[in-house]
Structure 1
Amino acid sequence: MAAVRPWDAFTAAETDVRAIVTDPRWQGLSVPDRAHAIAARALVTPDGDRWLFGAHARWHLHDPADGYWHLAPPPRGTPVRRAEHAAAVLPARVIPRGPDFAAEPGSTQAFVGPDVPTSLTEQVRVLVRTSGRRSELEFPLTAFDEIFASDVPSTVAAIWGTIMWCAYAPAYDGNEQLITIFGEYLRRPLPGDEWVRWLPAPPLLDLVTLVAERQRTGRSRAALRLAALIADTAQILLSDARFRPRALALLTMVEPALRQPGLDDQASQRDATAVLRAWLDRCPDRLARAVLAETDPEANFRHTVYDLSESLAFASDPAAAAATYLADLSDSRSLLPSRLDHRLRQAYEELALAGLTSTSSSESTQPEGFPVLSGGSAVQVLRERGSEAEAPPDRASAAAVLGAAYATGLAWRRLTGAKVPERGFAGSAALVRRLIHERDDGHT
């Protein structure tokens, strides 16, 4: 007989809210009625914290200091009581619209530890081999020129850009075959070291530029070929949960232009940004969270912090554990604390008082690529807290924390322009110690 999972008040509330939001009648309710339905299901923990399961099918925590509702995973297993909140004061952004509950969460795991499946890699290899034979004169490199040599056709760049944009957190095992496929085309070695490649997440505009430039110059067939390559690559990536949400969103944006050639021609005559807007306009509401990095960097960062905190649920104090990873972010203007819920903010400010924040702005590394354990690296902080015993319980959990932490750093850069170290943030890089000896695992 299968084990029965213990009852949890937060999980029960999620089930209740999902049932009413996914009911077709939800769309017919007025905003005040929707607010009342959500507010009536507020939960309060013994410490007085007030929680709502709301927009994006995620939990929101009320900040008693300023009344702001922060995205925050709940303390599951904690005793709670129902305490209806005043519906009239709920901000619209926490009230589910309906389509936002259809979003697939995907996976926060980095590609260190659980490698990309061989079957996916081989399909991409075939695409790259064929695309590499194209002429750079017909397909000039109008984006990703910092990655690829000048004689590389943009067909190869389109495949690369699709992979990197669709990845939840593009940190790859240094021996990952999906990356080595592109080796002969690279302009210079990828950032990172012999163990991990800490790759940047390109903006969608870079991918759009490859297509829009060919459209603008009247090379419609070349533009269509590049769009088809983007779609083909995204289709392949759907088989891995770490790519799937963004790959699906990308397909919904690109496929209409394949079915209706010339759809974006008018926009391309203005500029690539106009084509980007046309692509984003085609992304349905149910996939909106996948493109938040493009449409709302602020919300995107808050969601990655949620992912990071959720990936650390195994810790006895998840807020303190998450704060040690947030301490790696450069924050010379003190922009970070106000974006954190009060529990996380308190943990972060304790580190700030000890001079253990903004560590990536003065990062130094040992020759083999791991951070020097001086100053305020997240690794040192964790050791000082005596939490070595709270290391991720298994390989999948470690990869999830690694991916979520790196994604948070990339989201912070997108929001503020802060530095992303070429050899990884200290906390993320330290987790490699747990995973690297298990790289190149087999797949069935």
Structure 2
Amino acid sequence: MVADPRWAPLPPATKAHAIAERVLAARDGSRWLFGAHARWYRLDKVDGRWHLSAPPLNPGFRAATRPMPPGVVIPPELIPAGADFAADRGSTLAFVGPDVPRHITDRVREVLAVHRKVHRPDFPLTEPRFRAVFASDVLSTVAAVWGTIMWCAYAPAFDGNEVLLSMFGEFLARPLPGDDWVRWLPMGSLDALASLYAERMRAGAHEAGLRLAQAMADTAAVLRADARFRPRADALLAMVEPLLAQPWLDQHALDGDAVRRAWLSRCPPTLAWATLSELSLGEHFRHRLYDLAESLAYTAPRGFEPRLVAVALLAADLHELFAAAEPQRGADAVTTIYAWIDDELRQALYLALTDESYPLRACWPRSGELPAALVPPDRDTAAALLGAAYATGLAWCALTGTPSPERGFAVSSAVTRCLIHQRDDPPVEPGPASGWGLHPPLTPPHAGAPGLDRP
């Protein structure tokens, strides 16, 4: 219906009515809606809001849903525009197991070689976020290539031997976070990239500013051949390529955050979802948690409900990072997360963190490994789970203002053990993994939720 060319010009009220007619009522009283971004939403029984939420996969649960009578109010932001249904979601695979293809790394090396051959005084590296990574004499063109890779990556967890990283070895000021096997890198920053360009333009070095934009565009054009980079690479190209044809385009927006906002304004509707981390950290977190639930679909035939397993794994990471040393900070982080998930997932998260007998705690890693029932069936499934789990971890860290752990999250580290046989390096033994001052959610435990009756 939404993909039909006749959908876009319909009046908003007509679209809202058409979507409202397709709301589903489940046997447990929950309400479900397939809407914006071609994803599902669940009506929260407590706050009355629709929350982005991966749908249950339990066949009996799904078969028992029925269309609701008309009359449900659909918020405008949940009504699909049409373009969002055509969006390319790329891939959630991490860069461990499936390497970046050689034809891409070779071309990135060529881009790097071209853009490091510039007049050094014209390209000082003044952006603090890049100065924390690179030696003081490194050119800003090198940082532009690196920053593009990091921003375009869905989940920047890389094999320790990844060629895409090793080609920057001579420029680094210190070892990258992680270990010899996996580099656990932070989420890339569009603001840092825009700052490289804006600083040169403000200094009157317009040619240097455009050269930095060219380095970003050249790198993104190469990266888009890999689905793990493609959505954000396409978005970055849409933002910076116009500058190369119209150098005056951002002259009005060189102060503060204005350049980043100007770039985002040029992102087309089909790619806008790829920039959610720049627009709303909460929405970005919701989508990454949705990805995590989708990556766990292989657990449904094993008797699990993937959406609840995803929250159990989220709880495992929160517990590992905060419980021993900073329980109050952990409680504050969880309170922030509560606002971005529906009442059922909120309750599951609370119980997983506070009740040692809660069945879904059986999903937590033990001694650095996933429980046997959660082990992915093949390499690509494991890499997809690793990417989604790591991206979810980075997303909630950004949302709550928590620094991401340099040696990875508990779940991500455990998933990498499923990929050990894909490389020659020996496995890294993870460290060991409680008081939570959490306020319970406002609803009682939902005993009938699918997946809660068995681990």
8 Å CA contact 1:72–1:306 kept in 2: the answer is: yes
Which amino acid is the alignment partner of residue 120 of structure 1?
I
- Aligned pairs for 1:88-103 (under 5 A) are 88-103=72-87
Aligned counterparts of 2:27 and 2:381: Cα–Cα separation in 1 = 29
Q: Counterpart of 1:415?
A: 399
CA 1:183–1:91 in 2, change beyond 3 Å: closer, same or farther?
A: same
8 Å CA contact 1:32–1:88 kept in 2: the answer is: no
1:44 correspondence with 2:25: yes
8 Å CA contact 2:184–2:407 kept in 1: the answer is: yes
> What's the offset of the Cα at 1:378?
3.4
> What's the offset of the Cα at 1:324?
2.7
Q: Counterpart of 1:364?
A: none
- Aligned pairs for 1:233-272 (under 5 A) are 233-268=219-254, 270-271=255-256
Match of 2:45 among 42, 64, 70: 64
Secondary structure (helix, strand or coil) at the match of 2:19 reads helix
8 Å CA contact 1:109–1:396 kept in 2: the answer is: yes
Q: Counterpart of 1:320?
A: 308
Secondary structure (helix, strand or coil) at the match of 2:41 reads strand
Q: Counterpart of 2:340?
A: 339
Q: Counterpart of 2:135?
A: 149
> What's the offset of the Cα at 1:101?
1.4
1:289 correspondence with 2:237: no
1:437 correspondence with 2:421: yes
Aligned counterparts of 2:71 and 2:113: Cα–Cα separation in 1 = 58
TM-score normalised to the size of structure 2? Answer: 0.83
Q: Tell me, which stretches of 5 or more residues in structure 2 are unaligned?
A: 323-329, 425-455
8 Å CA contact 2:152–2:188 kept in 1: the answer is: no
RMSD across aligned positions (CA): 2.4
Aligned counterparts of 1:229 and 1:263: Cα–Cα separation in 2 = 18
8 Å CA contact 1:204–1:294 kept in 2: the answer is: yes
Q: Counterpart of 2:203?
A: 217
TM-score normalised to the size of structure 1? Answer: 0.85
Q: Counterpart of 2:9?
A: 28
Q: Counterpart of 1:9?
A: none
Aligned counterparts of 2:184 and 2:306: Cα–Cα separation in 1 = 25
CA 1:355–1:155 in 2, change beyond 3 Å: closer, same or farther?
A: farther
Aligned counterparts of 1:26 and 1:352: Cα–Cα separation in 2 = 44
Secondary structure (helix, strand or coil) at the match of 1:397 reads helix
Aligned counterparts of 1:311 and 1:128: Cα–Cα separation in 2 = 34
> What's the offset of the Cα at 1:123?
0.3
CA 1:432–1:382 in 2, change beyond 3 Å: closer, same or farther?
A: closer
Q: Counterpart of 2:446?
A: none
Secondary structure (helix, strand or coil) at the match of 1:168 reads coil
8 Å CA contact 1:35–1:87 kept in 2: the answer is: no
Aligned counterparts of 1:241 and 1:67: Cα–Cα separation in 2 = 37
1:232-265 Cα offsets, whole Å, 9 max, x none, are 1000011111100000000000011111112112
1:108 correspondence with 2:92: yes
1:133 correspondence with 2:117: yes
- Aligned pairs for 1:270-285 (under 5 A) are 270-271=255-256, 273-285=257-269
CA 1:376–1:149 in 2, change beyond 3 Å: closer, same or farther?
A: farther
Aligned counterparts of 2:74 and 2:368: Cα–Cα separation in 1 = 37
1:363-417 Cα offsets, whole Å, 9 max, x none, are xxxxxxxxxxxx999313998xx94223111111111111111111111122221
Q: Counterpart of 1:369?
A: none
Which amino acid is the alignment partner of residue 307 of structure 2?
A
CA 1:187–1:85 in 2, change beyond 3 Å: closer, same or farther?
A: farther
Aligned counterparts of 2:408 and 2:162: Cα–Cα separation in 1 = 17
Aligned counterparts of 2:373 and 2:263: Cα–Cα separation in 1 = 47
8 Å CA contact 1:152–1:185 kept in 2: the answer is: yes
1:329-359 Cα offsets, whole Å, 9 max, x none, are 35331222332223322321221213799xx
Q: Counterpart of 2:34?
A: 53
Aligned counterparts of 1:416 and 1:121: Cα–Cα separation in 2 = 34
Q: Counterpart of 1:193?
A: 179
Which amino acid is the alignment partner of residue 309 of structure 1?
A
Aligned counterparts of 2:172 and 2:289: Cα–Cα separation in 1 = 32
Aligned counterparts of 2:227 and 2:131: Cα–Cα separation in 1 = 29
Q: Tell me, which stretches of 5 or more residues in structure 1 are unaligned?
A: 1-19, 358-374
Aligned counterparts of 1:401 and 1:278: Cα–Cα separation in 2 = 34
Greater shift in the superposed pair: 283-292 or 312-321: 312-321
Q: Counterpart of 1:170?
A: 156
Match of 1:75 among 56, 67, 85: 56
Q: Work out the percentage of aligned pairs sharing the same amino acid.
A: 54
> What's the offset of the Cα at 1:127?
1.4
Which amino acid is the alignment partner of residue 132 of structure 1?
R
8 Å CA contact 2:363–2:374 kept in 1: the answer is: no
Aligned counterparts of 1:239 and 1:356: Cα–Cα separation in 2 = 46
Q: Counterpart of 1:6?
A: none
Q: Counterpart of 2:429?
A: none
Which amino acid is the alignment partner of residue 47 of structure 1?
D
